[in-house]
Structure 1
């Protein structure tokens, strides 16, 4: 079956005529004059492959991500080494300008086969993101054709921890910041990312006078395929704490800048962070809605793409809920939504701000009983006690709990979630330990 192809730009040779004279593997269904026209034609389902012979500098990772989502493979023609490397890094097949029509047709056929195979092997995420797994670059038939395979995303070894929770300020940012600080204090290299597209607040919490929105800056570079290790470390702000140094990618300064956090670009930022740090801690937004998929413009950016992609890429997800009659049912409903939106998440449930003044005697027992009756199958991983004095002091000084309240049970509870097992010797939770200590006084 012949593959319908759309082209844009021109070469010294009649590329379209050469492809048409092959009479078989590919059929040129439209020749476009500009990239915007090609994109519109691809979105209409007119073709399964596109050849970009001019205007390749306008191609970005987000654009390629969306074209892949509608089943269109892209091959660009370029003889500039830097541009070939950039295009390859964002998932575009690259061929020389003087490529033979038969060779190009073979590459287009292979690109379509690869894209079809990847779309079948990757579970649906609701984001339409592409799979970075391409064919083996050692394939002799391809390497002999002087055509660059798209470069897969760098597979870093760092572990990604996402801290998520429903609306209502359950303490996501406080926990994420202090998790990163505790890991840093243990001598681990850590990058902390503020991916909350509704209310980024890590910069404020750490007392950083930052108006540059470092994450948005990193995403712009990643979208263009030019984010390397040096650029990432230049953008990520070093924050020195009492225990160590961590780097921070601060969030967007206004909620209306959410369009700068495209899923494809953010994925590349996270992968680059994994290659440069042992731990990547992400403060994720609360909202999981995907109703923007109803938009007629399927190239439109997704409002909650940053949150969804962060949760998809996380090795471990902590779901934070407020321990209150309002917070618990809200978390139960949110977990059901999370299971539907990101089935691979497998969250670890944290009950935050546990206090007897609100829940009565033995608050943990009451929370467990209520959870067993009404909540999903997942059990509560930990209870974190309320410590308003410590959190207020940390926020006032732009510090972390390790610095302002190193002996607080809240700080110890957060450390026990991510640090060495030596901090997990207690059989009871941190809240129960507090109660026992007060009883002895």
Structure 2
């Protein structure tokens, strides 16, 4: 069966006409005058490949991702080496405009075969399909070895999901109700930096980005939106990502922050395809990337637009999909625990490969009863999902208030607090914890009294 192709633009030698005269495996079913017409034709399921002979500068990672979602491979013709590099960076097969028709046909066939091999299952129903850009990625267990608190092997040991970089990605997620996602994510980043790792903290919460406020930063530049914009255009490299990030220094180490969107209505700037490219670059510049993810896992309602529609929760879903380790944070009370149980079921349905590590936060006897950890374990065994509880973070409002007031991390404001020690135990190897404590002990501030 031939490969139906739609084209846009015309080269001096009219390669499109050459394709038609080949009478081979490639057949041109429509010649479009502009890229918008080509996109509309692809949306109808008319073609399996698109050849862009003119106007390749309008192609972005998001457009290519949506075309890939409906089973359309994109081939662009350009004589600019810089444009070719940009196009390849966003998933386009690029070739010089002087290519022979037979060679172009083979290139199209190869691009279609490669796309089919990367997309298991049937194609999505349309460009506005809410799950189209959220392809499940088969990967082996890429979580940290040794359970909670174990140290991973470092650069060079990434799993199958790692593409160009060797850094690892941690996503901190939790259901609605302020279980403490941002607090845990920010302090995890600080503890890992204190351990000597290069760390990038990303605020990917598209509903209420708050890392800037927690860390007392003055930067309100929406760094993640800037990075996604460059990635969508194929212009984001490691150095560009470093320039967008903000350095945060502590007594024991320094990490970088990619700030979140400044208003919730800017969520459309965090498109899944661009965000995936940002995380690829993050793997290159940091040993560990910690993501403060949003809470909502709902797929957008079925849309019927004739254009490419963004998805409200694509940033959260893509972050969880690409993470090597997911920490699911829940509040340890009669409201927070049921929310977490329901949220874990939703997480399993939305991102089945996530395999979350469950952490209960704000653990206190006043909300649970005497011996709160034992009570919670017993209740979880009776009513909770099969995912085990891995860690408990004690309620420490005085320490949290002190850190928030100072715009700093727990390891700086209250380094000897029980909460800070518990977060350190979750992410740091035991062998390193003593070293970090000794670095901080000489300058530690006294803990606030309850």
Q: Within 5 A, what are the aligned runs for 1:285-434?
A: 285-297=294-306, 299-422=308-431
Q: In the alignment, which of 126, 129, 134 is matched to residue 131 of structure 2?
A: 126
Runs of 4+ aligned residues of structure 1 deviating over 3 Å after TM superposition are 121-127, 129-133, 292-298, 422-425
1:91 is matched with 91
TM-score by length of 1: 0.89
In the alignment, the residues of structure 1 paired with residue 235 and residue 136 of structure 2 have an alpha-carbon distance, to the nearest angstrom, of 19
1:61-117 CA-partner distances (Å, limit 9, x unpaired)? 111000000000000000001001000111100111111111111111111111111
Measured against aligned partners, the alpha-carbon deviations of 1:34-63 in whole angstroms (never above 9, x if no partner) come to 101100110110111000011100100111
Give the match for residue 147 of structure 1: none
Compute the TM-score of the two structures, normalised by the length of structure 2.
0.87
**Using the alignment, how far apart are the partners of 1:356 and 1:288 within structure 2?**
31
Residues 5 and 51 in structure 1, CA contact (< 8 A), matched pair in contact too: yes
Runs of 5+ unmatched residues, structure 1: 134-151, 426-441
Equivalence for 1:48: 48
Distance 1:171-1:370 versus aligned 2 partners, 3 A rule: same
Which of 328-337 and 223-232 deviates more?
Answer: 223-232
Q: Residues 276 and 423 from structure 1, CA distance in 2 versus in 1: closer, same or farther, beyond 3 angstroms?
A: closer
Contact kept, 8 Å, 2:341 with 2:384, in 1: the verdict is yes
Q: Give the distance between the partners of 2:286 and 2:343, measured in 1 at CA.
A: 30
- The 1:55–1:200 alpha-carbon spacing in structure 2 relative to 1, beyond 3 Å, is same
Q: 1:241 to 1:410 in 2, by over 3 A?
A: same
Residue 218 of structure 1, aligned match among 198, 210, 227? 227
CA distance in 2, matches of 1:320, 1:371: 14
* Aligned equivalents of 2:137, 2:323: Cα separation in 1: 16
Cα separation, 2, equivalents of 1:71 and 1:53: 20
SS in structure 2 opposite 1:204?
helix
Shift of 1:256: 0.6
Q: Does 1:231 align with 2:231?
A: no
1:117 aligns with 2:126: no
3-state SS, counterpart of residue 21 of structure 1: helix
Residue by residue over 1:92-147, the C-alpha shift from the partner in whole angstroms, topping out at 9 and shown as x without a partner, is 001111111111111111111111111128999934346999xxxxxxxxxxxxxx
Distance 2:250 2:217 in 1: 13
Shift of 1:15: 2.2
- Structure 2: any 5+ residue segments left out of the alignment? 125-129, 139-160, 435-450
Distance 1:295 1:311, change over 3 A: farther
Aligned residues: 407
The Cα shift of 1:349 comes to 0.5
Name the SS of the counterpart of 2:301 in structure 1. Answer: helix
Aligned to 1:201: 210
- Cα distance, 1:366 vs structure 2: 1.3
Kept in 2: contact 1:161–1:280 (CA 8 A): yes
* Equivalent pair of 1:93/1:111 in contact (CA under 8 Å): yes
Distance 1:298 1:286, change over 3 A: farther
- SS of corresponding position for 2:309: coil
Separation in 1 of the partners of 2:48 and 2:136?
17
Most deviating of 69-78 and 203-212: 203-212
Q: Distance in 2 between matches of 1:302 and 1:166?
A: 19
CA contact (8 A) 2:136 2:351 kept: no
Matched position secondary structure for 2:411: helix
